[in-house]
Amino acid sequence: MRLVLAGTGSAVGKTTISTGIMKALSDEYTVQPFKVGPDYIDPSYHTLATGNTSRNLDSFFMSEGQIRNSFERGLNISDLGIIEGVRGLYEGISPIDDVGNTASIAKALDAPVILILNARSLVKSAAAVVIGFKTLDPSIKIEGVILNYVKNKKHYLKAKEAVEKLAKTDVIGGIPRDDAIKVEQRHLGLVPAVERENIINFIEKWGNIIKENIDLDALLAIMRESGRLPEGRADLWYEGTHNKVKIGVAMDEIFTFYYMENIEALKANNADVVLFSPFHDEKVPDVDALIFGGGYPEIFARELESNKSMRESVKKFHNDGYPIYAECGGLMYLTDSINERKMCGIFNYPSWMTKKPQALSYVIAKARYDNIISKKGDIFRGHEFHYSKVGINGPEPCFAFDILRGRGIMNSLDGLMKENTVASYIHTHIAAFPKLASNFIEATENI
């Protein structure tokens, strides 16, 4: 059984409602959460709500066959697959096509859609919004509506009547306005759940609000009618023939941005994945290569600076010629400093946070040289979102990638490259670069 929770736009309360529904249904069912688009933050809430790691579905990264494969792999033995959309239902890269939007995921999975609508000050106009969404693409199965930010019961009942009679669509609930359930936001969205000890309390509140205001039986009835997944599957990653290697993956309160399929692809290519913490551990583990994902190292810059033994251990690992791959926050950790706090110094440039976003888009990159994750001429997709800069001074360093779409570090270049270390602002998903894991392990074998 599956369902897409889509918004009429951004800031309509998708994450609060989606997470609340996941929590409420998790009391009786095994729920597998999913998120549309390149997002690490909302999935952290889903994971806490359900106890199952949330996965991403993205039509910029994935073919329809890969979307179905990813969904099926994630669902596994779970009872329900619930997918939170991104922005508005139809918002993607193009003003006309569906690449990168929620509608493309609903189509690939032939999944019913519940439309979440900001009903503040709307009654009859709410019906007009729903009619517009249904008629723009009749192949999208909008089976229900949730009205958010309703003023009171009278407002809810009037808007419900308008939508059901004029738009011929069931309204399965309305959420009252309540500032008490809002969560602090940071520059890239909701604050990551791992940083907030009290986030479980918020999720509990969201779940209770959903139970009080949403017809969960109606929601489940819609899911039961979802039927079989469409035919057609495609592999998410390439599996090479490799010797056993050990890959250290930095994962703690700081480095949290990882796609589950990327880790699974490493294991499928004969790697033992060893988790470690640049925050808590004294040195890197006994491994053959390291990966530093994204996160919020700037929030913990003082703690990272204080862990001098770890920083020196990472630098020595690099100097000894072992492969290191880093993305975004991981890139910053490998620079000389973050906001003047000393870091690993593999790349002798400072990095710092900015008040305005420096990049927020999908990326297409082309390898300029053979490196630890790609071969010269390889083209792959990813995404970048950061409020930071790396200060390149002196001669231009060696960059691994030309940026065909996006910004990169500077001058449409990304991927600082030094010996067997590559660090970039690009976040990659294995489906968008199926040989990533195999290439990295091959580079590790060849050391």
List 417's β-bridge partners, or say none. 422
Give 83's strand partners. Answer: 4, 34
What values do phi and psi take at 179, rounded to 5?
-65, -20
**For tokens 């009391």, what's the residue?**
27
Identify the CA nearest to 282 among candidates 309, 320, 260: 309
Residues sharing a CB contact under 8 Å with residue 230, sequence separation 6 or more, in sequence order: 64, 68, 108, 109, 110
The residue written with tokens 């994630």 in the block is 74
With CA atoms as reference, report the closest residue to 238 among 261, 214, 209: 261
Angstrom distance (rounded) from CA 322 to CA 317 = 6
Instruction: Check if the beta carbon of residue 101 is closer than 8 Å to that of residue 89.
Output: yes
What lies within 8 Å, CB to CB, of 54 at 6+ separation is: 33, 34, 35, 42, 43, 44, 46, 47
Q: CA-to-CA distance for 108 and 68, rounded, in angstroms?
A: 7
CA distance 6 to 142: 9
Distance CA 152, CA 303 (A): 47
Could you tell me the end-to-end alpha-carbon distance of the chain, in angstroms, rounded to an integer?
A: 47
* Distance in angstroms (rounded) separating the CA atoms of residues 89 and 104: 9
- Tell me which amino acid residue 93 is: I
Given the residues 328, 363, 365, 372, the one annotated as active site: 328
Tally of CB atoms within 10 A around 275: 13
Q: Amino acid identity, residue 355? A: K
**Whether residue 328 lies in the annotated active site:** yes
Closest CA to 359 of 385, 391, 380: 385
Catalytic residue list: 328
